[in-house]
Structure 1
Amino acid sequence: MALDSEKLPVSRFSTRELPGTDSFEAWRQSIGVMFEAQIFPGSEPSADFHAEVEAYHLGDLVFGTAVLDAQRLCRGARRIHADQLDHVLLQVYRSGGQRGDFAGTPFCVEPGELFVLDLTRSFDTLASRAHITNLVVPRECLESRRPLRDIHGRILRGGLGSLFGDYLNALEQRLPQLHLDEAGDVARATVDLLGACLNPSLDSFEQARQPIEAGQLNRIKGAIEQALADPGLSPQWLCRQLGLSRSRLYRLFEPLGGVAAYIRQRRLERIHGQLCQPHEQRHIGVIAYQWGFADEAHFSRAFRHHFGYSPSEARELRWASSGRGTRATQVDAAGYEQWIRQLGS
């Protein structure tokens, strides 16, 4: 298969097409790069086991999401000695959770919590059916500025956990559009922010200020997208919904021309997309009203100013935006295992 060198490499694994007798064994071999997987106590060994994993290679990092059935996961002294992985694994349970033992210390992880694994130390857990976000980081990347202390089994709760969780959410949404030449900058920003959350200090948070603000900005952009058709969408509404001060909101959007301008731009782009759809026959004013423009003349002027042509000209051209993107690189599950082994080398 030809590879698109512009997009980030992506690796996908699924047991969907495998019979029940083979599905868990396929998963056991795949996750074996880090853990020993076992059937969840009380489950039938022959029962269907479902696992879906998608991972992106970000140069110095591997970012992944997974939907997995319940299982037992272990990492003992023999495995640690054999594979010599010196990575830090951060996991966020979007749903489900786990309980077990971190090198002799009991723990319990609930949905929404972030927890950290040091792959040079032992680990034994019972994990429920779950949707998980994973981030694998070589230790040398995290310790390039400050040594890590007592991170194994740490659960990031409260503001720091929410902050990094929001950032990972935003990153997950944008990875399919990222290009290889952006991977290094994204990896550095991610490591800076994670390091600041694990070792809070004035210096570390100053280093992480940019990715912190980027994560918050992406969270606000997500709220705008959800409410774009709501005529009540405004800076005041965003401040109330997201618990932001007006000055903070305005400062974040200042490089984008202001929050009101950004909302208007996104509405115009949504309208443009609809006008370019071959089967969209509604009056232009009706479409504009749907996206918050009460005055058709004002809308037409704003549209022409933004795109350089009128709404009616856009409709005539029927530019189909759906074919512009390029397809992400597709590699098999073996790619993920090789990436983990080669991180930091």
Structure 2
Amino acid sequence: MQSSYSTRELAPQQRRQAWQNAIAEIYFPLELAFLGSRIFEGTLEAWRLGPVSISRNCSNGLLYRRHEHHLVEERDESFLITVPEISEVRFVQDGQDVSCQPGGFLIERSHLPYEFSHREPASLWVLKVPRDVLEARISRPERLATLRFDARSGAGALFVDMLRIAVARIEEFDDAARHLIGGQLVELLAASVTSDRRVLSGSSSPVKNAHLYRAEEIIRSRLGEPDLTPQSVADACGISLRYLQQIFEAENTTVGGHIRSQRLALCDQRLRDPRFRGSISEIAYDCGFGDQAQFSRTYRARFGRTPSEARAEARRAG
């Protein structure tokens, strides 16, 4: 599905409000301040690929502000991965101020106030990813916000190349293939950011960060095992359970909580994926939950709806 907006056919006095409406439709509500040219010009196109979307945003200089009042009625958090093509952009969130030139990309978090701006005319590629989809690949994705990543080589360059290729050939694919491509884009994004040492470097020492990375990898690869426990993760890492707990406590979480969160995110992803035709109980068991009733209660507490409601909602949207 494609959405397209352009100011070309509009009277100059109508363009700014039309652009504000288009931005709210494609991303979420924002306050806009128009910079530079008196007559605003912009084009905005967006394409759905399963739970994620790609957009191409071309416009004169702009300042976008996300305020606290925009968050009051927002429930589902998203991350915007923004790739500037022709001009430098500036992003301010949570006390961090970062600029990004072509050849890199930024990650923005929807559930915190922010400012995003470019003074010169800009062309931006933007991948919008729901938090649960990103969290299924990258633990605690909020750590990525305000980081600038390299897109000139390696996985970062491949990620940006695939954004462009996916849009260029999107009409050749059916809905199932688009859903698959959306997932592959998120996998490439995860590969590019997890190869950056900053993603795992918090307040812990390099040794603790190495154990944290190893534990995260073990948990992601063994979510389907119902007997995956903090002790078994510690054993696989070759460290004591207490030491492992201290590492996760430094990240403001627990080992058991992280395992549960990753399992729930994977279940939610599969419930919303039209390719997964299995029953809800099969999805729960495949993701490591041994008790379907307990899974349903935990899922509802996390997402505010039952697994059946989530699947029905995804089918209606499809």
For the criterion TM > 0.5, the same-fold answer is yes
Provide the C-alpha distance between the structure 2 equivalents of 1:151 and 1:111, rounded to a whole number of angstroms: 19
TM-score between both structures, scaled by the size of structure 1: 0.52
Instruction: Give the equivalent residue in structure 2 for 1:125.
Output: 116
Pairing of 1:228-267 with structure 2 (within 5 A): none
Contact 2:6 2:43 in 1 (8 A): yes
1:134 corresponds to 2:126: yes
How far does residue 35 in structure 1 lie from its aligned partner after superposition?
Answer: 4.3
Task: Tell me the residue number matched to 1:69.
Answer: 60
Out of 78, 81, 87, the position equivalent to 1:87 is: 78
Distance 1:115 1:343 in 2: 29
- Is 1:177 the counterpart of 2:169? The answer is no
Q: Deviations over 1:266-296 (max 9, x none)?
A: xxxxxxxxxxxxxxxxxxxxxxxxxxxxxxx
Aligned to 1:135, what secondary structure does the other structure show? Answer: strand
Equivalence for 2:190: 195
State the Cα deviation string for residues 179-217 of structure 1 (Å, max 9, x = none).
Answer: 22312211221122212222337969x99xxxxxxxxxx
Contact 1:37/1:71, CA 8 A, preserved across alignment: no
Retained in 1: the 8 A contact 2:76–2:131?
no
Q: CA deviation at 1:343?
A: 8.8
Shift of 1:160: 3.9
SS in 2 for 1:39: strand
Q: Structure 1: which amino acid aligns with 2:54?
A: F
Match of 1:56 among 43, 47, 55: 47
User: Residue type matched to 1:129 in 2?
Assistant: P
Structure 1 counterpart of 2:147, which letter?
R
CA contact (8 A) 2:159 2:185 kept: no
* CA shift digits 1:147-202 (9 cap, x unpaired): 13411111111544323212222222221322223122112211222122223379
Letter in 2 for 1:18: L
Is the contact made by 1:19 and 1:48 (CA closer than 8 Å) also made in structure 2? no
Give, in angstroms, the shift of residue 133 of structure 1.
0.7
Larger radius of gyration: 1
The 5-angstrom pairing of residues 7-86 of structure 1 reads 9-33=1-25, 34-41=28-35, 43=36, 47-86=38-77
Question: 1:91, 1:134 within 8 Å by CA — same for their partners in 2?
Answer: yes
Answering whether residue 154 of structure 2 is matched by residue 163 of structure 1, we say no
Q: Which residue of 2 aligns with 1:277?
A: none
1:154 has 2:147 as partner: yes
Deviates more, 1:83-92 or 1:140-149: 140-149
* Structure 1 stretch displaced more, 165-174 or 54-63: 165-174
Q: Return the offset for 1:134.
A: 1.0
Gaps of 5+ in 1: 1-8, 208-341
Distance 2:162 2:40 in 1: 31
Structure 1 residue matching 2:144: 3-state secondary structure? coil
CA drift of 1:112 comes to: 2.6
Question: Would the alpha carbon gap of residues 108 and 182 (structure 1) be closer, same or farther in structure 2, given more than 3 Å must change?
Answer: same
Partner in structure 2 of residue 96 of structure 1: 87
Relative to 1, partners in 2 of residues 1:183 and 1:65: Cα closer, same or farther, differing over 3 Å? same
> What is the match of residue 106 of structure 2?
115
Q: Which has the higher contact order (CA 8 A, sep 6+)?
A: 1
1:193-250 CA distance string (max 9 Å, x none): 212222337969x99xxxxxxxxxxxxxxxxxxxxxxxxxxxxxxxxxxxxxxxxxxx
Which of 85, 96, 105 is the equivalent residue of 1:105? 96
CA contact (8 A) 2:158 2:188 kept: no
CA RMSD of aligned residues (A): 2.8
CA distance in 2, matches of 1:102, 1:147: 20
Q: Matches of 2:15 and 2:81 in 1, distance apart? A: 25
Residues 1:152 and 1:169: Cα distance change in structure 2 (over 3 Å): same
Partner SS state of residue 18, structure 1: coil
Q: Quote the offset at 1:100 in angstroms.
A: 4.0
The alignment partner of 1:32 has SS state of helix
Which secondary structure state, in structure 2, belongs to the residue aligned with residue 83 of structure 1? Answer: coil
Secondary structure of 1:191's counterpart equals helix
Q: Deviation digits for residues 16-67 of structure 1, max 9, x if unmatched?
A: 10111110111012213424242335x46xx321111111111111111121
**CA 1:32–1:188 in 2, change beyond 3 Å: closer, same or farther?**
closer
1:302-341 to 2 correspondence within 5 Å? none
Please tell me whether the aligned partners of residues 138 and 343 of structure 1 are also in contact (alpha carbons under 8 angstroms).
Answer: no
